[in-house]
Amino acid sequence: MRQPLTPMTSAPQRQVASTSPVAARMTVLIVDDSNVNLKMYEKLVTAIGGTDVHCFSNSAGALAWVGEHDVDLIVVDYKMSAPDGVGFIQKVRTMGEKEHVPILMVTADQAKEVRRKALEAGANDFLAKPIDPDEFCARLKNMFALRQSQRQLSETASWLADQVKAATAELVARERETILTLSMAAERRDPETGSHLKRMAHYCEAIARAARLPKPQQELLLATAPLHDIGKIGIPDEILLKSGKLTPAELTVMQRHTTIGYEILRLGRSSTMQMAAEIALTHHERVDGSGYPRGLRGEQIPIVGRVCAISDVFDALTSARTYKDSWPFNDAVAEINAGSGRQFDPELVSAFNAVLPDIAQIKKRFPEERGSDV
Co-location of 286 and 244 in the same domain: yes
- 181 within some domain: no
User: With contact defined as beta carbons under 8 Å apart, do 49 and 3 qualify?
Assistant: yes
Co-location of 115 and 236 in the same domain: no
Residue 138: domain span: 26-161
Inform me whether the pLDDT recorded for 158 exceeds 80. no
In this structure, of 19-33, 110-124, 197-211, 325-339, the range with the lowest mean pLDDT score is 19-33
Co-location of 302 and 207 in the same domain: yes
Residue at 240: amino acid letter: L
Co-location of 325 and 199 in the same domain: yes
- Of the three residues 161, 179, 199, the one that is the final residue of a domain is 161
Co-location of 194 and 148 in the same domain: no
User: With contact defined as beta carbons under 8 Å apart, do 16 and 157 qualify?
Assistant: no
- Of the three residues 140, 161, 182, the one that is the final residue of a domain is 161
Co-location of 156 and 305 in the same domain: no
99-151 per-position pLDDT tens digit: 788 898 888 766 677 778 878 888 888 887 888 888 888 888 888 888 887 77
- 3 within some domain: no
Co-location of 216 and 352 in the same domain: yes
Per-residue pLDDT, averaged over 152-172, amounts to: 75
Q: Domain count of the chain?
A: 2
Per-residue pLDDT, averaged over 67-84, amounts to: 86
Co-location of 222 and 339 in the same domain: yes
- 360 within some domain: yes
Residues in Cβ contact with 82 at an 8 Å cutoff, skipping those fewer than 6 apart = 59, 60
Co-location of 146 and 278 in the same domain: no
Co-location of 139 and 262 in the same domain: no
- Of the three residues 141, 161, 181, the one that is the final residue of a domain is 161
Higher pLDDT, 191 or 251: 251
Q: What is the mean pLDDT of the chain?
A: 83
Question: What CATH number is given to the structural domain containing 154?
Answer: 3.40.50.2300
Question: What CATH number is given to the structural domain containing 211?
Answer: 1.10.3210.10
pLDDT score for 181: 66
Residue at 264: amino acid letter: I
pLDDT band at 186 (very low <50, low <70, confident <90, very high): low
Per-residue pLDDT, averaged over 309-337, amounts to: 91
Per-residue pLDDT, averaged over 225-246, amounts to: 87
Co-location of 340 and 226 in the same domain: yes
Inform me whether the pLDDT recorded for 277 exceeds 90. yes
- 277 within some domain: yes
Instruction: Record the pTM.
Output: 0.56
- 146 within some domain: yes
- 80 within some domain: yes
pLDDT score for 348: 98
- 115 within some domain: yes
pLDDT score for 222: 92
Co-location of 222 and 272 in the same domain: yes
